[in-house]
Structure 1
Amino acid sequence: MKWLAIILVVALLALQYRLWMGEGSIASVVSLNREIAKQKEENARLRERNRLLAAEVDALKQGKDAIEERARNDMGMIKEGETFFMIVDETDKDTKKNKK
């Protein structure tokens, strides 16, 4: 009877070790749940980014207005006959001088 009790205690300790410390333990499950939550947030952010990019692609495919806007903003292009004026803010110059 004494041996049976010892065997049962050892088995209980082995099972408890696996529950708290081993692979698939409570701590690792909690950690994995945190990682899953972070990944879901990242996936949602990327889905929104993809949605915006798809909308931009559709706009570029459908009309010249989007292409023209992109050329003006990203490439600094102007239409024929237009004159480009750059307005320089004096406070920006003063700020840059003070930083040096």
Structure 2
Amino acid sequence: MARRLIPVLLVALLFIVHAQLWFGRGSVPQVSSMKQQLATQDQANRDAQLRNDQLMSEVRDLQDGLDMVEELARQELGMVKPNEIFVQIAKGRN
């Protein structure tokens, strides 16, 4: 009787482990599906990062452009912002 019980028990345990591998939590199909979802999310993240980098570049260009326009307006047109005091220093002759 004991000779038959041990192999049957081992086969049953093997069947349970095999069933877990294919149908349980962390099964092969589930892991495969999660890998596909991860790859899709990684691609979406890369696309979003690229778009963010492009937008940041545009913002920097606009900021630099506005700073340059303001500097030219101050030098050539004497632009003064509200609440600023304009001071002009005349250079003496040598």
Q: Distance in 2 between matches of 1:57 and 1:18?
A: 53
Aligned length: 66
Q: 1:9-33, CA deviations, whole angstroms, 9 ceiling, x for partnerless residues?
A: 1100000010000001100110011
Q: Give SS of 2:25's match.
A: coil
Matches within 5 A, 1:25-44: 25-44=27-46
Which of 57, 61, 64 is the equivalent residue of 2:63? 61
Please tell me the residue identity of whatever aligns with 2:64: Q
Larger Rg: 2
Relative to the length of structure 1, the TM-score reads: 0.62
Aligned-residue offset at 1:50: 0.3
Unaligned segments of structure 2, at least 5 residues: 70-94
Who is 2:51 aligned against? 49
User: What is the aligned partner in structure 2 of residue 97 from structure 1?
Assistant: none
Question: Percent of aligned positions with the same letter in both sequences?
Answer: 31
Partner Cα separation in structure 2 for residue 31 and residue 7 of structure 1:
33
In 1, distance between residues paired with 2:65 and 2:17? 67
| TM-score normalised by the chain length of structure 2 | 0.66
Q: CA deviation at 1:60?
A: 1.4
Q: Distance in 1 between matches of 2:14 and 2:38?
A: 31
Unaligned regions of 5+ residues in structure 1, if any?
Answer: 68-100
Q: Helix, strand or coil: the match of 1:63? A: helix
